[in-house]
Amino acid sequence: MDAPSLARALGGRKAGVDFWTARCPAHEDGTPSFGIRQGKDGRVLVRCYAGCAQGDVIAVLKQRGLWGAANPTPGWRPPPPRPKKEPPPPPAEHALKIWREARPARGTIVERYLATRGLCLPDGEALRFHPRLFNKYARVAAPAMVALVQHGVSGEAQAIHRTWLQRDGSGKAAFEQPRLMLGPCKQGAARLTPAGDRLLVGEGIETCLSALQATGLPTWSALSSGGIAGLELPPEVRRVIILADADDSGERAALSAATRWRNEGRDARIARPPRGMDFNDLLLAERPRPHAEEAT
């Protein structure tokens, strides 16, 4: 009896080249766990993947008249497993690869985009430009502004923040999620300037650049309300002004961070823009700077 005939006798089905599966005849098999292969020398090779002893399988097949002299060798080794696809790199590794691919933002559409918000590109390399960065939600590659996220105390690079842009730099890209983080951002921030004795800390990059431009003070972008709440600060920072976003989550994060930093012995205050505005609106309107009020 050849392999196709044995498979048919057991109610099996073809599962590959010269390979069939069926329910094992040696145990109550709810799902097909019995492999049948036609060997190159004409022999039929069988194996129960559920663990039945080979001798038990052959004995049952003989009892049912399905195994004879044409199959003198009971058993076969399963084919080698298919090569596994390489897993994607860890998020932090992928993030830093993108950062290395990106180039300085000076002279690129990043400058043009910031100018539409009344902002100047800060000195240093806190922001870079990637000409063709893939967005997994939009399923397209587009130019992007890339910010490096560094641990608040050690300065170790750990993640990036990406803002996809229109190709002419006239604004953010017109798809659903033009801003995304990649990698572990916890306890870190985009250091728009080096830290100093005083430090402004806010959420969005544009918010923080607006405050930096208005005050000239060292400024970090924590990128989200959760980022502010979890940011660790280096010991040289003694006075912190938190740029609170005008929503409930931004207010809660600002209060939480202010309390924690005051408990660490720092002077922590919260700056809030006028109702209905953000700090970039304030900069564009050329209104007086917001006052910093003591955290409550």
What is the residue range of 206's domain?
186-296
* Final residue in a domain of this structure, among 151, 182, 213: 182
pLDDT of residue 294 exceeding 50, the answer is no
For residues 291 and 196, membership in a common domain is answered with yes
Residues 218 and 176 in one domain: no
Q: Where does the pLDDT of residue 41 fall: very low under 50, low under 70, confident under 90, or very high at 90 and above?
A: confident
Query: What's the total number of domains in the chain?
Result: 3
The strand pairing partners of 202, in sequence order, are 221
Q: What is the pLDDT of residues 184-205, one digit of tens each?
A: 998 999 999 999 999 999 999 9
Distance of CA 61 to the CA centre of its chain: 53
- Among the three residues 125, 156, 182, which one is the final residue of a domain in this structure? 182
114 lies in a domain?
Answer: yes
The answer to whether residue 72 sits within a structural domain is no
Is 82 inside a domain boundary? Answer: no
- One domain for residues 120 and 178: yes
293 shares its domain with 215: yes
Same domain? For 209 and 276 the reply is: yes
* 268 within domain boundaries: yes
Q: How confident is the model at residue 77 (pLDDT cuts 50, 70, 90)?
A: low
Let me know if residue 81 belongs to a domain.
Answer: no
**Does any domain span residue 71?**
no
With a cut of 50, say whether residue 289 has pLDDT above it: no
Amino acid at 289: R
Rounded to two decimals, the pTM is 0.68
Give the Cα separation of 270 and 296 in Å (integer).
9
Is the pLDDT confidence value at 168 over 90?
A: yes
Are residues 160 and 212 located together in one domain of the fold? no
Count Cβ atoms below 10 Å from residue 82 Cβ, excluding itself.
Answer: 6
Residues 156 and 175 in one domain: yes
Does 192 share its domain with 175?
no
Tens of pLDDT, residue by residue over 244-271, are 998 889 999 999 999 999 999 999 999 9
Residues 199 and 295 in one domain: yes
The answer as to whether 78 is a domain residue is no
Q: Both 106 and 43 in a single domain?
A: no
pLDDT at residue 288 is higher than 70: no
**pLDDT of amino acid 69:** 52
Residue 23 lies in a domain: yes
Is the per-residue pLDDT at 101 higher than 70? yes
User: For residue 261, what is the domain's CATH number?
Assistant: 3.40.1360.10
Q: Which pLDDT does position 87 carry in this prediction?
A: 75
For the chain, what is the radius of gyration of the CA atoms? 32
**Pick from 182, 205, 238: which residue ends a domain?**
182
Q: Is the same domain home to 139 and 94?
A: yes
Compute the distance between CA of residue 201 and CA of residue 189 in angstroms, rounded to an integer: 9
From the list 160, 164, 161, the residue with the least C-alpha distance to 140 is 164
Calculate mean pLDDT across residues 44-60. 88
CA separation, residue 238 to residues 69, 233, 289 (Å)? 88, 9, 22
Residues 177 and 191 in one domain: no
Structure confidence by residue, pLDDT tens digits, 104-153: 999 999 999 999 999 999 999 999 999 999 999 999 999 999 999 999 99
